[in-house]
Structure 1
Amino acid sequence: MFSIVLNIVGSLFHLYVVARLYALAPVKSRIPARAWWIGALLLWFVYIAGVHVGDAALDWRWWPGQFAVTWLGITFLMSMCLLAADLLSGFGFWWRAHTQTIRLGGAVAGVLLAAFALFQGMRAPVIVEQEVVLRGLPPALDGTVIAAVSDIHLGAQRRSDWMAARVEQINALKPAAVLLVGDLVEDEPVGEPQLAGVLRGLRAPLGVWAVTGNHEFYGDAETTVSEFAEGGVRWLRDRQVELAPGLVLAGIEDIGATMRRGGSLTTGLAGTLGAQEDKATILMSHIPATPVVMEASRRGVDLMLSGHTHGGQIWPFSYAVARRFPKYAGSYDVGGMMLYVTRGAGSWGPRMRLWKPGEIIKLTLRAPRQAPSA
């Protein structure tokens, strides 16, 4: 079904863009119609072939698949700009003397938007700093730094060398713990022997911890878990640990996987979170589903970390994502619990982001201020 949608939608974007570009006088006067449309047809065939090959494979098949999703992203952004130009000019029925200029402006804007989105998608994730006060955090842990990263999507696009660069970024933050908040792979296990060594390069005295996301279960999830475990990553699959005296870290399995096993959205929480009245609690849950967020707050979680949404990744899809996940990017106060939904470090589909780049989160934990004695 997904490939059928890409076939139809991508074909419409492709046809609209090539038709509008050929309507531009500088193009039409220089390129014969036969050559233009033959080239457009060949490009469309490559796109369709890439859709069916897919971009999850870790061999040569990645290239046509990645071209397909990238071309879809490019033609989508160009279609938006060209459509805006058509609406402004009444599809050529008014302002006829300026139609060519308006359409040319739309085409240039589309190219610039697509180029910027590619740049934002391929650049290194930025560091975003956030302070959070945790109820129950002992004063001795005030100032503790936690590094959190989600949606790495290691696979054909991003391999161990890309991850090695992220390890350097994370280590520069001098974190006490590193939290990997799901979708660490695109689909299948990475399958690179050097990955374990790269992961062992993470320096965090309180450990490197991870939870599963939905993409882990699109492939062989247990092998993926083993690959990361070989690199020293410890998984929290519906369980909790005490990171330090007075600080609890909990993690739940991907809620989609839990529901496929007959559970509910909050099954993982019910079996993981106990009474922690005298301790601060951090929860990792890949998907920020509203029932999970509300239940976590009700159970006394101080900080919940999620990903999954990519912050919409390519505007204006952020509006559609926000309808599905009202809290889809950034920090939110939910009944005294802080929810942070990260845009993630990688991307899904095309390596494009509009407007904001990927991110790694530096969290500085703060103990509540003590009231001055009388």
Structure 2
Amino acid sequence: MFSIVLNIVGPLLHLYVAARLYSLDAVRTRVPRRAWWIGAVLVWLLYLAGVHIGDAALDWRWWPGQFALTWLGITFVMSLCLLATDIVGGFGYLARAHTQKLRALGAGAGLLLAAVALFQGMRAPVVTDREVVMQGLPRALDGTVIVAISDIHLGAQRRSAWLAARIEQINALQPAAVLLLGDLVEDDPVGRPLPGEPQLAPTLRGLRAPLGVWAVTGNHEFYGDAETTVAQFREGGVRWLRDQQVELAPGLVLAGIEDVGRRMRKERDYLGGLARTIPAAADSATILMSHIPAPRIIEAASARGVDLMLSGHTHGGQIWPFSYAVQQRFARFAGAYDVDGMLLYVTRGAGSWGPRMRLWQAGEIIRLTLRAPPAALAHADREPAQS
């Protein structure tokens, strides 16, 4: 599907934007027609070269690959704005006296929104704070800080140096545990960095979390060699939960399930991992990590007494108006949701996929402060001191 977007939709967007921009008097009177269209063809050829070279390469091929993805995002945003003004003006037939002004407005709005999207996509992710009341959480763990991050997509766009900056952000939050919610790589394992860039494992070992750094797989891990990626992160001190659960601290359980994307695509039952991981209703405060916020996983987790479920995958739609399409697939696609007493948080993710752009919101890192229920705190306060 994405191949169709790159090879067919992308060139059509490019052609549409080029034609509309050249219809503006301010452009047409200053740039000869032949020069404009020769330039447009050269940009189109560079775009196609980038598409077929690919954006995963970490050598000179990175530049045309990244240009192609960025240009696709820019022309998409500009096409939205230009199409809106075309519709208002009847494509130049209904409001001919205002066609130039409308198209100039559309072009200006498109450039502005593309700049905003690039800024939001390239800036550091913001920190989202949330307090979570967990039934059964011991009083001793009240105030425990958990930091979660998803969809970092290490690869051509983001490398170990970018990850090192995110680790500084995370460490500043003083987490007891760090949770990595999948899609940690773009597709292939990160491999050897470019000259002058830090190695992955020493970078990961910079994370400071007394209760550990834990991860689950996402769909992108399986687009490449998932086992190599798992080994690379394990070398950096990351512990994986692949249909497993552990006791983070007395009275607090952390569970993680293997990515269910492949089973969902084949319309097969994908609850087996959750059933193996949490076979019965949880009697301890429980956190579940599941990369994809699949509806059946959400409902089953809530029925099993999970207190907090953390997911990513959706990117919050990443570039508006794709958020509406994502919401058709995942009704709970970004932010916090109460599901029969279970808190589900679907993060927008810290990175991006495809164009390094976000419209409207930047990526995020989640800081969760765990709270014992008020009744438990009150009961503990009433307990007599032991001599």
TM range (shorter): over 0.9
Contact kept, 8 Å, 1:258 with 1:267, in 2: the verdict is no
Contact kept, 8 Å, 2:151 with 2:350, in 1: the verdict is yes
- Per the alignment, residue 327 of structure 1 pairs with 332
Residues matched between the structures, number: 374
Q: Secondary structure at the match of 1:370?
A: helix
Pick which of 144-153 and 53-62 moved more: 53-62
Q: 1:23 to 1:345 in 2, by over 3 A?
A: same
Deviations 1:285-309 (A, max 9, x none): 0000101111111111110000000
Which of 188, 196, 201 is 1:196 aligned to? 201
- Per the alignment, residue 65 of structure 1 pairs with 65
- The answer on 1:225 being equivalent to 2:225 is no
**Aligned 1:37-48 pairs, distance under 5 A:** 37-48=37-48
State the Cα distance separating 1:4 from its structure 2 match: 3.1
State the Cα distance separating 1:95 from its structure 2 match: 2.9
Contact kept, 8 Å, 1:136 with 1:277, in 2: the verdict is no
- The answer on 1:359 being equivalent to 2:372 is no
Pick which of 49-58 and 259-268 moved more: 259-268
C-alpha distance in 2, partners of 1:98/1:132? 54
- Per the alignment, residue 5 of structure 2 pairs with 5
Q: Secondary structure at the match of 1:283?
A: strand
C-alpha distance in 2, partners of 1:7/1:156? 20
Contact kept, 8 Å, 2:129 with 2:368, in 1: the verdict is yes
Contact kept, 8 Å, 2:86 with 2:103, in 1: the verdict is yes
Contact kept, 8 Å, 1:124 with 1:358, in 2: the verdict is yes
Pick which of 158-167 and 271-280 moved more: 271-280
**Aligned 1:172-321 pairs, distance under 5 A:** 172-192=172-192, 194-257=199-262, 264-275=269-280, 277-321=282-326
Deviations 1:107-160 (A, max 9, x none): 000000001000000000000001111111011101000000000000111111
C-alpha distance in 2, partners of 1:9/1:278? 51
Q: Secondary structure at the match of 2:375?
A: coil
State the Cα distance separating 1:274 from its structure 2 match: 3.5
Q: Secondary structure at the match of 2:87?
A: helix
Pick which of 347-356 and 7-16 moved more: 7-16
TM-score, structure 1 length as denominator? 0.97
- Per the alignment, residue 84 of structure 1 pairs with 84
C-alpha distance in 1, partners of 2:133/2:81? 44
- Per the alignment, residue 20 of structure 1 pairs with 20
State the Cα distance separating 1:276 from its structure 2 match: 5.5
**Counterpart AA for 1:350:** P
Contact kept, 8 Å, 1:85 with 1:103, in 2: the verdict is yes
Could you tell me which runs of 5 or more consecutive residues in structure 2 were left unpaired when the two chains were aligned.
193-197, 383-387
Q: Secondary structure at the match of 2:154?
A: coil
Q: Secondary structure at the match of 1:242?
A: strand
Deviations 1:146-187 (A, max 9, x none): 000000000111111100000000000000000000000001
**Counterpart AA for 1:191:** G
State the Cα distance separating 1:59 from its structure 2 match: 2.4
State the Cα distance separating 1:2 from its structure 2 match: 3.2
Q: Secondary structure at the match of 2:77?
A: helix
State the Cα distance separating 1:260 from its structure 2 match: 8.7
State the Cα distance separating 1:194 from its structure 2 match: 1.3
**Counterpart AA for 1:357:** A
C-alpha distance in 2, partners of 1:116/1:277? 44
Pick which of 22-31 and 2-11 moved more: 2-11
**Aligned 1:67-146 pairs, distance under 5 A:** 67-146=67-146
C-alpha distance in 1, partners of 2:365/2:176? 15
Q: 1:126 to 1:299 in 2, by over 3 A?
A: same
Name the Cα RMSD after superposition: 1.7
State the Cα distance separating 1:63 from its structure 2 match: 1.8
TM-score, structure 2 length as denominator? 0.93
C-alpha distance in 2, partners of 1:261/1:3? 20
C-alpha distance in 2, partners of 1:295/1:89? 51
**Counterpart AA for 1:85:** T
Q: Secondary structure at the match of 2:178?
A: strand
Q: 1:262 to 1:234 in 2, by over 3 A?
A: farther
